[in-house]
Amino acid sequence: MLSKDTGVCIRTVDYSETSQIVTFFTKSTGKIGAIAKGSKRPRSAFDGPIEMFSYGEIVFSDPTKEKLVTLTEFQQHGFTGLTNNLFAFNCCLFAAELLNKLTDDYDPHPELFEGFLHFLQDVNEHQRSSIEHRHILSLLILFQLTLLSEIGLMPVLNACANCKTKYEIQITSDERRATSNEVYFSSSANGMICKDCESNFSDKIKLSPSGASCLINLKQVAQTSERTLKEIEKILISHFTELLGHRPKMAKHILKSSDKRPK
Ligand SMILES: [Zn+2]
């Protein structure tokens, strides 16, 4: 019996000279590992080797029988622009790494599937100009929060995660003059922490007023400065490091490469 689904490739490993083992994140089946026999042969059934982030309809052997299914059909559609922009590509690899590590096989998350595909589409559209680093970073942050929300680990951002006091932050037009109460982020509390509670959480990180404001009102993420986005991404990386028990492999490429200015 064969199964059909829509999937996007989130990992590929060479299996032999002619075959690959591919991890797909699919809409209805969740994450699956598949062997693509002969995919690297010149005339393969998959239009050539399977590329990272290619997506489309896939057909595979009965997943209830074996851990690794056999891929029988895959007409690849790709995001052709992603490899032109190293920062954009690294952000997508980072998102795929987190998706792979934080979801289980055969645990479907259709909305997360749509969210990941939209993320790839948006990054693909915005990768052309190097000035869009800021925009790509904002897309990555929003996807990371979608991922946390979909797997049931959304941090508490609108109130102190410990005492539940609601946050209200007023930001003036000049971010530097913004006045607010002190706000922290703590992975062990899974969210924001107020000044009264911070002493209970040794892993807390203090947020700038604009960083706190963005996390309290996520609509601001799309408009805020690159500096604030880097601050938030740094916090998210340390949060993912806590969740995974190790630092994500791609993390080192995200804050570093966005420092590079276009020539
Ligand atoms: Zn509190």
DSSP, residue by residue, 198-216: GGG-TT-EEPPHHHHHHHH
Task: Using the mean position of ligand 1's atoms as its centre, give its distance from the Cα of residue 140 in Å.
Answer: 28
Ligand 1 centroid – CA 165 distance (Å): 6
CA distance 8 to 33: 12
Rounded (10°) CA dihedral 19, 21, 22, 27: 110
Instruction: Give me the pLDDT at residue 138, please.
Output: 96
> Mind listing the pLDDT tens digit for each residue in 160-217?
999 998 877 655 555 444 445 689 999 999 999 999 999 999 999 999 999 999 999 9
- Residue 40 alpha carbon to ligand 1 centre in Å: 56
For residue 262, is pLDDT > 70? no
Closest Cα to residue 256, out of 83, 87, 85, 136?
87
Q: How far is the CA of 159 from the centre of ligand 1 (A)?
A: 8
Q: How far is the CA of 144 from the centre of ligand 1 (A)?
A: 25
**pLDDT value at residue 89:** 95
> For residues 148 and 181, which has the higher predicted lDDT (pLDDT)?
148
For 7-31, the pLDDT digits (tens) are 999 999 999 999 999 999 999 999 9
CB 98 within 8 A of CB 147: yes
CA of 185 to the centre of ligand 1 (A): 11
Distance 215 CA to ligand 1 centre (A): 16
Q: How far apart are CA 127 and CA 133, in angstroms?
A: 8
The amino acid at 4:
K
Percent of the chain with pLDDT over 70: 89
* CA neighbor of 191 nearest in space, from 153, 150, 231, 141: 153
With cut-offs at 50, 70 and 90, classify the pLDDT of residue 131: low
pLDDT digits (tens, 9 = 90+) for 233-247: 999 999 999 999 999
What is the CA(167)–ligand 1 centre distance, in A?
10
Among 214, 220, 217, 219, CA closest to 234: 214
Q: Note the pLDDT of residue 84.
A: 87
- Quick one: pLDDT at residue 181? 67
Integer Rg of the chain from CA: 20
What are the tens digits of pLDDT across the range 47-89?
Answer: 889 999 999 999 999 767 668 999 999 999 998 888 888 999 9
Tell whether the model's pLDDT for residue 248 goes beyond 80. Answer: yes
Which helix (H) or strand (E) is 71 found in, with range?
strand 68-74
Alpha carbon of 183 to ligand 1 centroid (Å): 9
- Rounded to the nearest angstrom, the distance between the alpha carbon of 20 and the centre of ligand 1 is 50
Give the separation between CA 249 and CA 150, rounded to whole angstroms: 22
What's the whole-number average pLDDT of the chain? 90
**Cα–Cα distance, 26 to 103 (Å, whole number):** 11
Cα(166) to ligand 1 centroid in Å equals 9
Report how far residue 188's alpha carbon sits from residue 130's, in angstroms, rounded to the nearest whole number: 36
- Determine the distance separating the centroid of ligand 1 and the alpha carbon of 237, expressed in angstroms: 23
Residue 172 pLDDT: 53
